Amino acid sequence: MTEDEGSVRLRGRVLYLTEDPELVRRQLAGEDLDWDPNDPAHALRHDVSTDEITPADACLHYDEELGRHVYTGLTGGTRDARARPVGIDAVRAGGFVASVAGRRRGKGSSREASPFAELSAGIRVVVGESLERIYRQNAVNLGLLATTDFSVLEPLRRGEPVPLAPFLEGADPVTRRVVARGGLFPYMRARLAGAESPAPPTTGARPMTLAEKLLARRMVTDLAGDRVGVAAVAPGDAGFVRADLRFSHEYVTPMAAFFLERAVGPGARVADPASVLLFRDHLALLDGALTDERRARGDLERAEALARRQEEFAADQGIRLHGSRDGICHSLVLERYALPGSVVVGSDSHTPQAGALGALAFGVGTTDLACAWLTRDVRVTVPPTVKVTFHGRLPRGVHAKDLMLALLAHPAVRTGGTVGKVLEYGGEVVEALSVDERATLTNMAAEAGAFTGLVAPDAATARFLAERRGMPLAEAEALCARARPDPDASYESEVRLDASALSPMVALPGDPGNGVFLDDLLERVPVDIAYGGSCTAGKREDVEMMAAVVGEALERGRGVAPGVAFYVQLGSADVAEWARARGYLDLFERAGARILPPGCGACIGAGPGVSTSPRQVTVSSVNRNFPGRSGPGRVYLASPAVVAASAVAGYLAAWRPGR
């Protein structure tokens, strides 16, 4: 790769990730596709998730070895969802310098392993009709060139200089400097040395949304002088925001430590380690999901090596590490740590779960996290805020998961209109929800591609803090009062949904946006696996939903249907102890369910409850059902109540209390 002031010259081939898996295979075999955007046969894959770019087992690696595994989870999309056209080493061997996909490229998990795998395989340019926020930021941080401008492809194919302008279009001044420096670590080293000093926003006082107010309060104005806070911010303003809490887990910590040591040296120290948390949760249950093939190739040993590396890093840096049975990071951050008005960053796309308390919580990539270890702040471009209003009255048997599946199926979300934006949930329906149910909405803001999701704190928030954490109610109320949007704040748009018109929903296999009313399914769908739990659905109220369904079934002399494996997973040890004290765990076991300890598990294909055959059908309360994420079978997403009702019925079924 050679560069001059306004262009870059790259030599290599272009890989088009098409709907037709055979076209992908032919390119990998050496054929250069004469791609025609108007030819239906050349249609690009939309919604290429990070699970497909780097499947979960590939992420057991955290160095250049990842380049061997890039795109090995890719499917043919709607053309052939079971096809896997890319083999190990295929992309690296093909000599590709650019990769092209359709809408919402890089959706899903925040794993920086995905763009790092592309980089390690020789890819230097990633193009998509639209790019997910975290994926794009991760790519830029690593030095990849990312754009939605397809005009770069023709000069690239001809080996001619490619203008840099398309890669900088719409970029804020900080991002432009990151690109100019070749990535975030070179920029951050210059910033720490005083060679880069981004000017803080100078927006004048204005009414602000909740996210804008929290960003303004924590915007860094002087890194060396440790000063934060500006009068106001507006969408498009850029800078660095001081985090109150930074957290990571064993899937990411080793890579972040690897990046940190490579960029800074082995003596690098984490600033303010008391405000950093580490968790062993993502691979804690892996042993229960391994096939003989995965066990033989050493996946369990690699997972244990990741855990040991995190333990070493925690001990060396003096960071608190939550062990394998404490709970899922998002569950514990919500239950124990996040506060109204605080800024929380985590190495996971579902970090917004803490937004249920009115915290500004958002996911960041590995490089962002490693740099935040040094500076306590993260790079942010202030996003627009979309107001999401659920009005009407929630019917009985309809829950927050149904609200979220309805939102994800809304055209404003399906077309990418919420990508990179804040979702501020409100309306009389949200006001009536518990914090646990609100957390389902904020957690799954990630599935909308949003920057984050949050709910303005209120009396329910204050009660949560008082009852769950023992905080004096007056103190909790004061915290909540400081984290409210201005009444005359400006929103980019509003999405309104009538909750009264909803009934229990499921998301059809392949994508969380495939939501339909359960009553509209044309035929009965038998289930093999019912999975209730995860960070999204392992909270107290989720457990209560399942207990109500199972308790009613036991009263009628019924339990888990023959042939169905029903798993109940708790989000944390705190929830498990609470459920045990109320007799819920005994109730589940009497019905024939299997109780799982806290951990991410089957949600990421790393625990009991994963499917083992493409013929199997799972109904699950997790947040994602991308191809292959929870095994080779078909996964329907649903609320915990629908999961439990389906476990009892033996097929997809709703639970309507009182009938």
Whether residues 484 and 566 fall in one domain: no
Does the pLDDT of residue 1 top 70, yes or no?
A: no
Q: Could you count the other beta carbons within 10 Å of the beta carbon of residue 651? A: 16
Global pTM reads: 0.88
Share of the chain above pLDDT 70, in %: 99
Token readout for 398 is 């309809």
Token readout for 406 is 């309805």
Q: Among the listed ranges 347-351, 434-438, 605-609, which one has the minimum average pLDDT value?
A: 605-609
On whether the CB atoms of residues 418 and 449 are closer than 8 A, the answer is: yes
- What average pLDDT does range 317-340 have in this prediction? 96
Whether residues 223 and 358 fall in one domain: yes
The CATH number given to whatever domain includes residue 219 is 3.30.499.10
How many angstroms separate the Cα of 254 from the Cα of each of 17, 61, 250, 266, 305? 30, 9, 7, 13, 9
> Which of residues 501, 528, 558 is at a domain's end?
501
- What average pLDDT does range 238-257 have in this prediction? 95
- What average pLDDT does range 58-69 have in this prediction? 89
Quick check: is 77 in a domain?
yes
What pLDDT does 659 receive? 54
What's at 278, amino acid-wise?
A: L
* Full residue range of the structural domain in which residue 12 is found: 2-169
Whether residues 300 and 393 fall in one domain: no
Q: Among the listed ranges 47-51, 489-493, 516-520, which one has the minimum average pLDDT value?
A: 47-51
Among 152, 71, 76, 75, smallest CA distance to 115 is for 71
265 — pLDDT class (breaks 50, 70, 90): confident
Does the pLDDT of residue 10 top 60, yes or no?
A: yes
Whether residues 476 and 617 fall in one domain: no
Whether residues 47 and 156 fall in one domain: yes
- What average pLDDT does range 192-208 have in this prediction? 94
Strand partners, 526: 651
Does the pLDDT of residue 3 top 70, yes or no?
A: no
Whether residues 393 and 277 fall in one domain: no
What pLDDT does 626 receive? 86
Whether residues 255 and 163 fall in one domain: no
657 — pLDDT class (breaks 50, 70, 90): confident
> Which of residues 443, 475, 501 is at a domain's end?
501
- What average pLDDT does range 306-313 have in this prediction? 95
Whether residues 303 and 407 fall in one domain: no
State the DSSP code for 494.
E
Q: Virtual CA dihedral for 401, 406, 407, 411, nearest 10 degrees? A: 160
Q: Which burial class, exposed, middle or buried, applies to 518 when counting CB atoms under 10 A from its CB (0-12, 13-18, 19+)?
A: buried
Cα distance from N-terminal residue to C-terminal residue, the chain: 67
Quick check: is 163 in a domain?
yes
What pLDDT does 264 receive? 87
Does the pLDDT of residue 18 top 50, yes or no?
A: yes
Quick check: is 202 in a domain?
no
On whether the CB atoms of residues 537 and 564 are closer than 8 A, the answer is: no
Q: Could you count the other beta carbons within 10 Å of the beta carbon of residue 224? A: 9
2 — pLDDT class (breaks 50, 70, 90): very low
Q: Virtual CA dihedral for 316, 321, 324, 325, nearest 10 degrees? A: 150
Condensed to tens digits (0 to 9), the pLDDT of residues 447-485 reads: 999 999 999 999 999 999 999 999 999 999 999 999 999
- Please indicate whether residue 30 or residue 159 has the higher confidence score (pLDDT): 30
Does the pLDDT of residue 378 top 80, yes or no?
A: yes
Angle between helices 113-120 and 133-142 (to 10 degrees): 40
Q: What is the chain's mean pLDDT, rounded? A: 93
Condensed to tens digits (0 to 9), the pLDDT of residues 311-327 reads: 999 999 999 999 988 99
Which phi and psi angles does 411 have, rounded to 5°?
-55, -35
What pLDDT does 578 receive? 97
Whether residues 255 and 344 fall in one domain: yes
- Please indicate whether residue 79 or residue 374 has the higher confidence score (pLDDT): 374
Whether residues 215 and 364 fall in one domain: yes
For the residues of 193-228, what is the DSSP string, one character each?
Answer: TTS--PPPP-PPP----HHHHHHHHHBEEETTTTEE
Instruction: Please tell me the total count of domains within the chain.
Output: 4
